[in-house]
Amino acid sequence: MKYQSVFDIIGPIMIGPSSSHTAGAARIGRLSRTLFGKEPVKAVITFYGSFAKTFKGHGTDVAIIGGILGFDTFDNRIVDSFAIAKDLGMEIEIKVSEEEVDHPNTARIKLFNHQYSFEVVGISIGGGKVEVVEVNGFKVRLTGEYPTLLVLHEDRFGMISAVSNTLSRFEINIGHMEVSRKARGKQSLMIIETDQIPSDDIKEEIERIPYVLNVSFISP
Amino acid sequence: MFSTVKELIDICNTENKPIWQVMLEAEMEVSGRSEDQILEQMNRNLDIMEEAVNRGIHEDIKSHSGLTGGDAKKIRKYMEENRFLSGFTILDAVSKAVATNEVNSAMGTIVATPTAGSCGIVPGTLFAVAPKLNASRDQMVHFLFTAGAMGYIIANNAFISGATGGCQAEVGSATAMAASAIVEMAGGTPEQSADALSIAMKNLLGLVCDPIAGLVEVPCVKRNAMGAAIAMVAADMALAGIKSVIPADEVILAMYRIGCSMPNTLKETALGGLAATPTGRALETKIFGRPSE
């Protein structure tokens, strides 16, 4: 079932005018910021499909930047997000692509700080619901509705046990886990759905494991 | 949890419960949250809907493009002059649906029901039918659970956004949701709620999503007005005992198949329909400086 809650249908409370293009875009932006886990200094946003055709009219650009700034769907500051980003010194680039995509409402967000960049592809599936379908080139399926830990790491021996040992020491139970890699010995991504919400201490501890490149966490 | 209208109605009949209660209990089970927490969240949604209705019928609303705003006030003034032909409750619903959508188009705060483009129909009819029936605040909250239950089934078996299924998915779903909730608030049976859903949705099948300049304004605001009117009449027809020849679940699947065979030019891309008329293109150029094609 794509829609699980009555509040997916009666909701969200949001700034108009479009739940797919405004609320959904804000949520994709906010998820990308959470996954990045750092303060971005630059954001490059590419719109595809219907997003590419109509983003200006729906304020999709305004909403997605609002989300990258950490605003929720009902936050009035979304309307002024361009000005707020500028005041914070965040550089913003908006692109449109003619490329065929699987879903009509697709956005690719690349976030940068001074050392690091991170790329997320999100789709807005209607009524304000979204999915992240790609993280740094890895195919994923994240809705942001369950506590989820993402660990980007180099593909080495013992990585899974190092991470799962840390979680077990802090009494965090794993509900579902996926590991994917681009090629043997290259970068890998662990996606771990947890029953308990991991604290910042746990995140920091996992970050200290050798060959771990980035740890981020999304909570519902 | 139910996944079809038939399953939902069967649960209502077997357990002798109204639709709203089945939805509320399903939500408790899925979310693990208490009844009080869930009711509180829905009450909050009702508050936001009421604020948007009041803003739209009292304030001077204007969208950034200048294409929409002020029509809800016009209908209220016309109603006060007592010249109307179609009936007070229908126009009350229409004006409140327009009010909500005008606030949405002006980037105001609304509740997506089920989407922002269709956010006027459920609250518009609710805030017209509740005073007519002297409904309590609790009954108004129940109305939203019933509408939500039907929307949940439509969303999981078809679609609710114009970009995926055309306006039949967006305004069509909202109208069907509202029609079934009106029936329940007016004391109809769960079967009559299902008939109201079918009658309402059947009359919006094939409706394309063709917004001028891609904005959620024209024809969206007026389609919400008509959605509210259709929901009211569909509810009355069902309450009169009229059956839908095609069962609700089959109507929903027909909507899905129609949406799948609709070209992308008619699914919120602003490439066809009203958006591609000479006036539509001229407005687009005026607003954005260039047409999208």
Look at the pTM and tell me if it is higher than 0.90. Answer: no
DSSP B93-117: HHHHHHHHHHHHHTT-EEE-SS-ST
Which of A59, A38, A177, A22 minimizes the C-alpha distance to B213? A59
Tokens of B191: 């079967």
Calpha distance B12→B8 (Å, rounded): 6
Window B:114-173, CB contacts with A under 8 Å:
114-117, 119, 122, 144-145, 147-149, 151-152, 155-156, 159-164
CB pairs under 8 A between A and B: 172
Average pLDDT, chain B: 96
Res. B165 pLDDT band, cuts 50 70 90: very high
Mutate to test the interface with B, among A3, A7, A13, A19 (most CBs of B within 10 A): A19
Q: What is the pLDDT of residue B293?
A: 46
Partner-chain residue, chosen from B41, B104, B288, that has the shortest CB–CB distance to A16: B104
Calpha distance B139→A167 (Å, rounded): 46
Q: What is the pLDDT of residue B87?
A: 95
Tokens of B253: 């699947």
Per residue in B4-22, pLDDT tens? 999 999 999 999 999 999 9
Residue found under tokens 């005008």 = B102
Q: Establish whether the linkage from the previous residue to A210 is cis, with ω within 30° of 0.
A: no
Distances (CA, A) of A67 to A4, A43, A91, B107, B149: 23, 12, 15, 16, 29
Q: Closest residue of B to A55, CA-based?
A: B214
Give every CB contact of residue A185 below 8 A, 6+ residues apart in sequence: A154, A155
Give every residue of chain A whose pLDDT is below 70, as ranges: none
For residue A70, give how far its alpha carbon lies from the nearest alpha carbon of chain B (Å): 18
Partner-chain residue, chosen from A5, A50, A57, that has the shortest CB–CB distance to B163: A50
Calpha distance A14→B48 (Å, rounded): 10
Answer whether B274 touches A (CB < 8 Å): no
Neighbouring CB atoms inside 10 A of B13's CB total 12
Calpha distance B227→B230 (Å, rounded): 5
Which of B261, B227, B255 minimizes the C-alpha distance to B115? B227
> Which chain B residues contact residue A105 at CB under 8 A?
163
Calpha distance B268→B117 (Å, rounded): 11
Answer whether B52 touches A (CB < 8 Å): no
Arithmetic mean of pLDDT, B143-149: 98
Arithmetic mean of pLDDT, B126-141: 98
Q: What is the pLDDT of residue B101?
A: 98
Which of B115, B81, B79, B84 minimizes the C-alpha distance to B96? B79
> Which chain B residues contact residue A126 at CB under 8 A?
114-115, 155, 159-161, 163-164
Calpha distance A37→B226 (Å, rounded): 46
Give every CB contact of residue B276 below 8 A, 6+ residues apart in sequence: B210, B265, B270
Query: Please, what is the angle between helix B35-58 and helix B137-157, to 10°?
Result: 100
For residue B63, give how far its alpha carbon lies from the nearest alpha carbon of chain A (Å): 10
Partner-chain residue, chosen from B113, B115, B148, that has the shortest CB–CB distance to A20: B115
B148 touches A9 (CB < 8 A):
yes
Q: Closest residue of B to A106, CA-based?
A: B163
Is the model's pLDDT at B290 over the cut of 80? Answer: no
The three-class DSSP label of residue A156 is coil
Give me the sheet containing A212-218, strands edge to edge: A174-181, A187-194, A148-154, A212-218
A49 touches A106 (CB < 8 A):
yes
Partner-chain residue, chosen from B31, B109, B111, that has the shortest CB–CB distance to A10: B111
Element spanning B237, H or E: helix B220-239
Residues making up chain A, counted from first to last: 220
Please name the amino acid found at residue A77. Answer: R
Tokens of B220: 């969206």
Partner-chain residue, chosen from B42, B116, B292, that has the shortest CB–CB distance to A17: B116
Res. B179 pLDDT band, cuts 50 70 90: very high
Record: contact B155-A3, CB cut-off 8 A: yes
Q: What percent of chain B has pLDDT over 90?
A: 92
> Which chain A residues contact residue B37 at CB under 8 A?
none
Record: contact A127-B108, CB cut-off 8 A: no
Calpha distance A214→B8 (Å, rounded): 45
Res. B287 pLDDT band, cuts 50 70 90: confident
Residue B191, beta-bridge partner list: none
For residue A8, give how far its alpha carbon lies from the nearest alpha carbon of chain B (Å): 8
Q: Which residues of A72-111 are buried (b: 16+ CB within 10 A; e: fewer)?
A: bbbbeebbbbeebbeeeebebeeeeeeeebebbbbbbbbb
Per residue in B228-273, pLDDT tens? 999 999 999 999 999 999 999 999 999 999 999 999 999 988 899 9
ipTM score: 0.96
